[in-house]
Structure 1
Amino acid sequence: MAGKRRKLGNPLALAVLATLRQHPMHPYEIAQTLRRQGKDASIKINYGSLYTVVQNLEKHGYVEVADVERQGNRPERTVYGLTEAGRREMTEWMSDLVAVPAREYPIFEAALSLMGVLHPDDVVRLLRERLSTLEVQIASGRGGLEKLYETLPRLFLVENEYQLHMLQAQATWVRAFLAELEGGLLPEVEGWRRFHETGEVPPEFLTGEAPGNPT
């Protein structure tokens, strides 16, 4: 399964397939179900793209029209169901995502790779702002999760747990890196500081010329 090039790569398409696994629905009901079950915290959902996704799934044979509903003078609503091909695709795609670590490109990681363009004192200030925000998010996430445990099975909250753990891990790393910067423990920090204060590139920064390092 690993490495298979899929016809669809949008996580929203996978969410639609997984939601239709419950029972046939029209697109508006799919969106409402995803939001009600809290999936919009992990998957970007908007009505316009969802309708396009459903159409693409139908084109590839993963969903099919199960019914057409009409209530009074309201427009018809097409109800879609999962096909056998859609069930297989959903299962294989999910199996890949769970089993195979994928290389992702978080925006914070990109910023860290280029942070040499900022003065180290500014980086310290900005990371302290980030750490403060992370601590608020962690406290809020922990409290929210405890409330959710009271009404929902843990099976439906594992992504919330993961999000909280990732925030905690990020905060731990930022806190430790800040200690290095502020304590002068990062070997390159003085050269980094001199570059921004004098405009002269330290010789050690010329070696390798890594993106984001002052060159």
Structure 2
Amino acid sequence: MQRRRLRNPLALAVLATLWQKPMHPYEIAQTLRSQGKDSSTKINYGSLYTVVQNLEKHGFVEVTDVERQGNRPERTVYGITETGQQEATEWMSDLIAVPAKEFPIFETALSLLGVLPPSDVERLLEERLKALDVQVASGRGALEKLYETLPRLFLVENEYQLHMTEAEAAWVRGFLDELRTGALPGIDLWKSFHEPGGEQDTRT
């Protein structure tokens, strides 16, 4: 994957938004929110102006107009440049074609699971599973409603989010079953690690 001059996903979202038409930063923020992009991209609206300035510095966007309305402050309107369109196209192509290693915090917690006793992990995963099941149910309902008014093209990220949540719930459910039945390999050693006077070095 090519190393990009800007790697903040918000920059890509701004480029894609400006591809629709030139806008001032406040309108960019409103458009991102109204199109639901804040559910799939971590958007810090406070840093949006900085992102736009960085895009301008690299030649990806340019000032196309300065709006003046009465006594209101001037609003600078930005449009995407040809270089910006090329950058957005290449960036999108990389993101879609090349699997990238990500580091979700739940994966981090799973890698350190032995810190907690199995009984605690079982209880906590039961809580997580309940929350995931609620997310799946609400996500399905919301998606069905959205299908009534929007083409599927504009909902593929919602579909992906739902499927990923369903997959996580299925994995947690299976892992919980192994914990409850004692079928998980190494669970006896894990339990002994947390017993009073238990062995604290599992390498021995």
TMscore range, shorter length: over 0.9
Q: TM-score, normalised by structure 1?
A: 0.93
Q: Corresponding residue for 2:83?
A: 85
Q: TM-score, normalised by structure 2?
A: 0.97
Q: Corresponding residue for 1:99?
A: 97
Q: Corresponding residue for 2:143?
A: 145
Shift of 1:198: 2.7
Alignment of 1:35-50 (within 5 A): 35-50=33-48
Q: Quick one: distance in 2 between partners of 1:160 and 1:199?
A: 49
Q: Corresponding residue for 1:190?
A: 188
Q: Quick one: distance in 2 between partners of 1:202 and 1:103?
A: 32
- TM-superposition CA deviations, 1:101-131 (whole Å, max 9, x none): 0000000000000010001000000000000
Equivalent residue letter for 2:203: L
Gapped regions of structure 2 (runs ≥ 5): none
Q: Quick one: distance in 2 between partners of 1:172 and 1:187?
A: 19
Shift of 1:100: 0.3
Alignment of 1:56-205 (within 5 A): 56-201=54-199, 205=202
**Runs of 4+ in structure 1 displaced over 2 angstroms?**
198-203
Q: Corresponding residue for 1:54?
A: 52
RMSD: 1.1
Shift of 1:202: 7.2
Q: Corresponding residue for 1:10?
A: 8
Q: Corresponding residue for 1:212?
A: none
Q: Corresponding residue for 1:206?
A: 203
Q: Quick one: distance in 1 between partners of 2:183 and 2:91?
A: 44
